[in-house]
Amino acid sequence: MDHKQIAKLITLIENEPDRSRDILKKLPKRICPVIGFTGSPGVGKSTLIDQVIARLRSIGKTVAVVAVDPSSPFSQGAFLGDRVRMKKHFLDEGVFIRSMASRGALGGLNESIYDVVELLESVGFDYVLIETVGVGQAEIEVRYVADIVVLVLSPGFGDEMQLLKAGVMEIADIYVVNKSDLEGNDSLYDQLVGFLTFAGRDVSSVVKTTALNGNGVEELVDKVITLWKSLAETERLKQMRKERLKHHTETLARRTLQRYLSTVDSQDPYESVELALKSMCERLKYGQGGGT
């Protein structure tokens, strides 16, 4: 499938989610490493991903990137500027970059992300990278979509404070301390190691990088490859994919229910849910297809 076809399918999945099922049904089931990158704006995530893509390309791997940015809660529009940093890969046929707006999804990613990732896996990319902004504890959806979550930190972001915001910290598998040529970087690194030790986590999961010149990127990619291999060899990957399936299902269920909820008119939330479920069951009963 060429880039144009892939792009059109993604648009379809985003805009007409009811058709995703049919689209995906026709494609071969395939899995590949799905790596999520999260971290505050300005830590150097995009620059790092740019380098990671370069490294993966240099070892002959094809890469699909989904960069998610928040939609404006007021206008529902979005400014999607992440691909700017990945310019040098635009003309590489082995790299596909797509920007997505969150479209109000609760977890900080777009609701269609599950289907989009599944599509990208099916069409044969060796790696799927997801870039997301993970500033708060709500934006942890990436944990369920990705097999490996890389949290990017950088000195001078009050990361020392961030470390205490347990939610984001805990979902990460690999920690990147970026801009290691800046003073203050060691302090962040030390604090991080200390924190992980205290939490009983593996401190070898910390990597120092200078995304600007690529230092540490090879090490990061090696860690990702090794980790994924070990997940695949044990039952961990299967479990994670099950979790992903569960969250995907819940997202679909929520969306379906929301549709019925929007037709219900009640002041009592409990009654509203009952009415919506009733309405849905009636439709199913009379073979009108619930649809998702």
Which residues are at the interface with other proteins (CB under 8 A)? 3-4, 6-8, 10-11, 14-15, 41-42, 46-47, 50, 71-72, 74-81, 83-85, 87-88, 90-91, 96-99, 101, 103, 156, 212-213
Report, in Å, the least distance between residue 136 CB and other proteins: 17
DSSP 152-196: EE-TTSSHHHHTT-HHHHHT-SEEEEE-TTSTTHHHHHHHHHHHH
The H or E element that residue 113 is part of is helix 113-122
Report, in Å, the least distance between residue 177 CB and other proteins: 15
Which residue number, 92 or 219, has a Cβ lying nearer to other proteins? 92
Report, in Å, the least distance between residue 72 CB and other proteins: 6
Q: Under 8 Å CB-to-CB from 200, ≥6 apart: which residues?
A: none
Token digits of residue 80? 């999607």
Report, in Å, the least distance between residue 131 CB and other proteins: 12
Which residue number, 212 or 277, has a Cβ lying nearer to other proteins? 212
Which residue number, 111 or 147, has a Cβ lying nearer to other proteins? 111
Residue with tokens 């910290």: 169
Query: Is the sign of the CA dihedral 230, 153, 102, 290 positive or negative?
Result: positive
Report, in Å, the least distance between residue 76 CB and other proteins: 5
Which residue number, 78 or 225, has a Cβ lying nearer to other proteins? 78
Task: Please state, in angstroms and rounded to a whole number, the distance separating the CA atoms of residues 258 and 276.
Answer: 8
Which residue number, 50 or 173, has a Cβ lying nearer to other proteins? 50
Which residue number, 90 or 270, has a Cβ lying nearer to other proteins? 90
Q: Under 8 Å CB-to-CB from 41, ≥6 apart: which residues?
A: 133, 135
Q: Do the beta carbons of residue 134 and residue 108 sit within 8 Å?
A: yes
Report, in Å, the least distance between residue 104 CB and other proteins: 11
Query: Is the sign of the CA dihedral 222, 227, 232, 238 positive or negative?
Result: negative
Tell me the sheet residues that pair with 175: 151, 206
